[in-house]
């Protein structure tokens, strides 16, 4: 019986399947992979980003074998963050697909394009490919009406001057550290700001009486309220109370470098306000007291042949930073030697500052007398020389006009050559110095370049590189102005490489723009500061010709 049942089951199964044929399985698609992708002839890496792409780029996708184009594959396998993308096969090479936007893309915008893995284009794509590109910034059109060069220089000075005039701290009159720093005022940046007052008067931005009142307000605050340590000021102060604010944990007392920048400004005011009225007389008297109270020699730490940067009432000398050249600090030694009450000797200058300053090498065929390779950040050629006139300044170590001109020209040549290939660098878009950047704050230089340009670097170099600096000024204002020009002049920095534009203004960057443009135009601050008899005596002590 059991066998009968099995037989009948077999018969039934045979009947059910009789006459049916299994359909043939299609042959699998040939496998292929993306070999390379280029945009306007430039290769791009998987997950990479290409900068400066044209507004209607030609994107070549090379596969490992021939492909066929069809609308379904284009829709399912190609993803693009922009509008429609047209496609064709390369002439004489059916393994290369050419993609191109159907309409021009937006300038200075990022787009993403992906090629998906899977069946499409008559092949089985075994691995996808995704990349991004950023279209070029359209700098061919002016964003502001053209004006004369003199008008543009005045406009930039006046707008930047407002940072120190309109945005000055209402109680102390000192310069806020940066836009939004509220009670935090900067001593060094305030020194630069004080030097903009004679510029503002000379250019008609304010009257002499207004400038004198503001100058006296600052001098009185520094005399009566500001906390000092052996006559030296801290890096930061509270603009209302005058109490020292810590710049870092152990930097909560005297800062000799910032003090020197402040004194550079104060001595400029003492020389400039030479009138006999009560306000100008009080300015000179107050500055003299502040100046003579600084114990420069005390900062040699018991007679060492070098000046030290910091001292703290809590940590004393633990910062332990001797001030040695070459950098921004030449003015510190000049003023220390110039002090009528607490001077240093020439040995401190020779053995502390100038011991290892020599360079003498060529960069971009330009000989650099002093300092690090390629000159370092541009503020080295600015901060000390807002008042100290480098035009005829020489000593045993350098001709300082040659030094600063070489430094600026090397900085310009480096950006024009653009060895790192940063998008946007050119002979009219240049200038590396300390500034904000997309990740914080940095001292940019050819040796420490992140693709960030700071307008102050080129603009404050105008006395040294007038042609190159004026070209940069016009580019910054007319072509980039919509992105970097604002309430207080040019914003601190930008990176076309990163599509990043600072919203910040910083006192130590704004001040040199006003001052050095004026030194280029008239020599006002150089001519004023260099009349100071104490400064001239100090230069004589150190062996300078000027």
Domain assignment present for residue 181? The answer is yes
3-state helix/strand/coil string of 181-237: CCCEEEHHHHHHHHHHHHHHHHCCCCCHHHHHHHHHHHHHHHHHCCCCECCECCCEE
- Last residue within a domain, chosen from 113, 135, 157: 135
| 153 shares a domain with 38 | no
The DSSP letter of residue 69 is -
| 87 shares a domain with 162 | no
Average pLDDT, rounded, for the chain = 95
Low-confidence ranges of the chain (pLDDT < 50): 1-22
Which residues lie closer than 8 Å to 29 by C-beta, 6 or more apart? 119, 122, 123, 124
| 95 shares a domain with 59 | yes
Domain assignment present for residue 10? The answer is no
Question: Which CATH number does the domain housing residue 328 bear?
Answer: 1.50.10.140
Domain assignment present for residue 385? The answer is yes
| 291 shares a domain with 148 | no
| 379 shares a domain with 333 | no
Please tell me the distance from the alpha carbon of residue 494 to that of residue 435, in angstroms, as a whole number: 9
| 372 shares a domain with 253 | no
Q: Is 440 left (phi over 0), alpha (psi -120 to 50) or beta?
A: left
Structure confidence at residue 59 (pLDDT): 98
- Last residue within a domain, chosen from 117, 135, 153: 135
Q: What distance lies between CA 521 and its chain's CA centroid?
A: 24
Residues in the chain: 546
Domain assignment present for residue 226? The answer is yes
Pair 103, 22: CB distance under 8 Å: no
Question: Residue 326: is the preceding peptide bond cis (ω within 30°)?
Answer: yes
**Residue ranges making up the domain that contains 516:** 140-166+359-524+541-546
Domain assignment present for residue 94? The answer is yes
Pair 103, 69: CB distance under 8 Å: no
| 150 shares a domain with 131 | no
| 446 shares a domain with 427 | yes
How many domains does the chain fold into? 3
Question: Which CATH number does the domain housing residue 71 bear?
Answer: 2.60.40.3710
Structure confidence at residue 25 (pLDDT): 59
Domain assignment present for residue 17? The answer is no
pLDDT digits (tens, 9 = 90+) for 481-525: 999 999 999 999 999 999 999 999 999 999 999 999 999 999 999
HSE toward the beta carbon, residue 350, CA cutoff 13 A: 9
| 72 shares a domain with 206 | no
Domain assignment present for residue 504? The answer is yes
| 279 shares a domain with 383 | no
| 495 shares a domain with 383 | yes
| 172 shares a domain with 294 | yes
Q: Please compute Rg for the chain using Cα positions.
A: 33
Domain assignment present for residue 316? The answer is yes
HSE toward the beta carbon, residue 444, CA cutoff 13 A: 29
């Amino acid at each position: 019986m059991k066998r009968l049942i099995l037989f009948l089951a077999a018969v039934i199964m045979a009947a059910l399947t009789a006459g049916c044929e299994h359909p043939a399985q299609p042959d699998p698609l040939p496998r292929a992979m993306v070999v390379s992708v280029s945009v306007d002839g430039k290769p791009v890496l998987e997950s990479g980003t290409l900068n400066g792409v044209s507004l209607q780029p030609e994107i070549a996708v090379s596969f490992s074998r021939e492909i066929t184009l069809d609308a379904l594959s284009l829709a399912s396998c190609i993803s693009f963050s922009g509008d429609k993308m047209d496609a064709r096969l390369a002439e004489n090479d059916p393994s290369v697909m050419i993609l191109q936007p159907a309409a021009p893309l937006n300038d200075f915008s990022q787009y993403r394009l992906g090629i998906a893995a899977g069946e499409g284009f008559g092949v089985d794509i075994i691995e996808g490919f995704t990349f991004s590109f950023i279209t070029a910034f359209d700098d061919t059109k002016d964003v502001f009406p053209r004006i004369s060069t003199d008008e543009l220089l005045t406009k930039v000075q006046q707008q930047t001057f407002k940072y120190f005039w309109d945005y000055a701290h209402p109680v102390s009159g000192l310069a806020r550290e940066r836009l939004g720093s509220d009670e935090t005022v900067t001593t060094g940046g305030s020194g630069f700001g004080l030097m903009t007052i004679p510029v503002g008067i000379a250019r008609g931005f304010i009257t002499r009486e207004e400038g004198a009142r503001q100058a006296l307000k600052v001098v009185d605050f520094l005399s009566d309220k500001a906390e000092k340590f052996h006559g030296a000021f801290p890096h930061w102060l509270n603009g209302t109370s005058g109490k020292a604010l810590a710049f870092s944990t152990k930097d909560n007392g005297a800062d000799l470098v910032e003090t020197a920048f402040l004194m550079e400004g104060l001595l400029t005011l003492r020389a400039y306000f030479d009138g006999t009225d009560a306000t100008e007389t009080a300015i000179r008297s107050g500055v003299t007291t502040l100046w003579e109270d600084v114990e420069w020699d005390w900062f040699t730490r018991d007679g060492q042949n070098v000046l030290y940067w910091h001292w703290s009432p809590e940590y004393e000398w633990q910062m332990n930073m001797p001030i040695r050249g070459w950098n921004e600090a030449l003015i510190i030694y000049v003023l220390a030697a110039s002090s009528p009450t607490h001077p240093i000797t020439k040995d401190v200058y020779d053995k502390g500052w100038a011991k290892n300053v020599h360079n003498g090498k060529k960069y971009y065929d330009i000989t650099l007398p002093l300092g690090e390779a390629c000159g370092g950040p541009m503020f080295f050629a600015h901060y000390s020389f807002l008042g100290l006139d480098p035009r005829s300044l020489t000593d045993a170590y350098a001709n300082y006009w040659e030094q600063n001109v070489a430094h600026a020209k090397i900085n310009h040549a480096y950006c024009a050559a653009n060895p790192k290939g940063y998008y946007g660098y050119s002979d009219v878009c240049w200038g590396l110095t300390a500034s904000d950047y997309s990740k914080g704050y940095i001292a940019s230089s050819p040796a420490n370049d992140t693709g960030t340009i700071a307008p102050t670097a080129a603009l404050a170099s105008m006395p040294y590189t007038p042609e190159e600096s004026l070209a940069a000024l016009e580019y910054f204002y007319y072509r980039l102005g919509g992105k970097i020009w604002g309430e207080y002049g040019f914003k601190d920095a930008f990176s076309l490489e990163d599509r990043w534009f600072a919203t910040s203004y910083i006192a130590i960057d704004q001040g040199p723009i006003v001052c050095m443009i004026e030194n280029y135009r008239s020599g006002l601050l150089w001519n004023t500061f260099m009349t100071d008899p104490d400064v001239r005596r100090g230069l004589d002590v150190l062996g300078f010709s000027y």
